[in-house]
Amino acid sequence: MKKQSLIKGTFILGIAGIIAKFLGLFFRFPLVMLIGDDGIGYYQMSYPLYTFFIAAASGIPVAVSKMVSERNAVGDTEGIILILRKAIILMVMLGGGFTLFLLAFSKELVRFLNWDSHALYSLMGIAFAPLFISIVSPFRGFFQGLQNMTPTAISQILEQIGRVIVGVGLAYLFLNKGVEYSAGGAAFGATFGAIMAGIYLFYKYIKAEKQLGKIKIKNDSSILTKIICIAIPVSLGSAVGSIMSLLDSILVPQNLLKAGFDYRQATELYGQLTGKAFVLVNVPLTLSMALCISIVPMISEAFILKRKFQLISKVDTALRMSMVIAIPSFLGLFFMSNPIMRLIFPGHSAGSDILKYLSISIPFIILFQTTTAILQGVGKYLLPVINLFIGCVVKVFITIHLVPSPNINVYGAVIGTIIGYFVATILNVAAFSIKLKIKPKYYDILIKPAYASIIMIISVVFIYTYVYNKTMNNIISCGISVLSGVIIYFILIIVFGVFNYSDIKRRFVKG
């Protein structure tokens, strides 16, 4: 199977991620229109439990990707197939157990977490998703380890299509029974999406296995042990990040009540934070995650083959790409938060200031993700976990102390997120620099993209203001200004020498 270069793999996953997020807006937009901020609040209260499972199990596809890449580098086809089979067995046990737990103890969980009782239906709706996503994840890791990102990309799009069609359809059908039932129907969309993705990936695997020819597979118990040893620290790191969201679902509504808001107001503010602001912030994070998924097997291959120059080259490129994504995304959402919120959620645009200040966290989150992927690629799994845990403690401390203040309220959670990820990122960068003994070229990585981003956002704001004054139409103004910004930024990163054609050809096309 032909390998894809870093830029091609990242581009494929990035485009697929953007399409998936765009499709997600077709899910989010009608959902907001149907059930409002309070319904979104019910939906979002249960969703962190699902994302917690995704995070807890995320170490398996990373482990599969890394191990498959290493076995593929030395031509061990038998080992590649055995790794996938062992990972599927492990994931089905984990996902099935989590699904049974959610179904059996849904009422107790709602009471224990002190959620609004109406959130029960969302929790039950999403309970089956872990079982099916547990089948999808190992297959994605398998193809990523072979440095073929296309199956993962297509499966992400199919998963989102299934989620949109079934989730919105059920939300509409159940609306006459009540907003809480509608939110529960929307939550079930995640299950159907995972089923569609799983069917496609299994089909692609059968085709890939035929290309490999007949292989006699001998059992090797050490493979399962190695998968677990790699997966546990990676999963812990992801789980800590997901716990941040889970803690928000507990701490933010409770502390907003202490700030003087009633249950409905607290739920609406929480819905604006997690159902709108975080959703839009996650769009650029889709691109950074595409980079991280692509870089792990490539770093692993260069590391196991002891190709020092290639390792340094990939690391430098990954850091540049991360900041090329992060800085303009932060500035764009910060200065265009109100027009973007009105564009995505017309008539329900409350929460633009939350989005504005939350966007400050984007560079820290993306840099943390990228350095974590690099450390994982060279076998340093535990350090990012410790660093993120410290950041999580900082976030919780700030959230608990600031959200109850009537003047700060939900912005306390925003401040906690920013400072929490800032602390985790600083620790990660320090660990990365010390352990790998690589000194990043900070001028190329940070300053050049910053120059290009500042000029870009000035142009975008000017174009938006000019067009809006002429047309008085937010959709047209946003479309023209954002498209112009993308073109201007692309030109500027070439002009400032962040990337050039020969650099791209040397680093990516030739591997």
Closest by alpha carbon to 45, among 121, 115, 147?
Answer: 115
CA 5 to chain centre: 22
pLDDT at 510: 46
Radius of gyration from C-alpha coordinates of the chain: 22
- Nearest-angstrom CA–CA distance, 444 and 497: 8
Q: Where is 74: in which H helix or E strand?
A: none
Other C-beta atoms closer than 10 Å to the C-beta of 225 total 11
- Nearest-angstrom CA–CA distance, 449 and 443: 9
Which residues, 6+ apart, have CB-to-CB distance to 253 below 8 Å? 41, 45, 115, 263, 266, 267, 270
pLDDT at 398: 95
Q: Which residue is it, tokens 């174009």?
A: 463
- Nearest-angstrom CA–CA distance, 273 and 84: 38
Dihedral angle of Cα 406, 418, 421, 316, to the nearest 10 degrees:
170
Assign 3-state DSSP to the chain and report helix, strand, coil percentages, each to 5: 85, 0, 15
**C-alpha dist (Å) from residue 212 to 75, 140, 151, 209:** 11, 18, 17, 5
Q: Where is 496: in which H helix or E strand?
A: none
pLDDT at 71: 83
Block mean pLDDT (10 aa), the chain, length 511: 68 83 75 77 76 76 86 80 88 89 85 78 86 89 87 91 88 84 86 91 86 65 82 76 73 90 87 87 85 81 80 85 94 96 86 95 94 86 88 93 94 95 93 80 90 97 97 95 95 85 54 45
- Nearest-angstrom CA–CA distance, 327 and 333: 10
* CA atoms in the 13 A half-sphere facing the CB of 266: 22
Q: Where is 1: in which H helix or E strand?
A: none
pLDDT at 501: 57
Q: Which residue is it, tokens 């149907």?
A: 34
The structure tokens listed for 6 are 């870093």
Q: Which residue is it, tokens 């600083």?
A: 426
pLDDT at 360: 97
Cα torsion angle, 182, 23, 268, 362, sign: positive
Cβ burial 252-273 (10 Å sphere, 16+ → b, else e): bbbbbbebebeeebbbbbbbbb
What is this structure's pTM? Answer: 0.77
- Specify whether the CB–CB gap between 75 and 306 falls below 8 A: no
**C-alpha dist (Å) from residue 164 to 24, 188, 189, 280:** 7, 10, 7, 17
pLDDT at 473: 95
**Backbone φ/ψ region at 161: left (φ over 0), alpha (ψ -120 to 50), beta:** alpha
The structure tokens listed for 326 are 């992060």
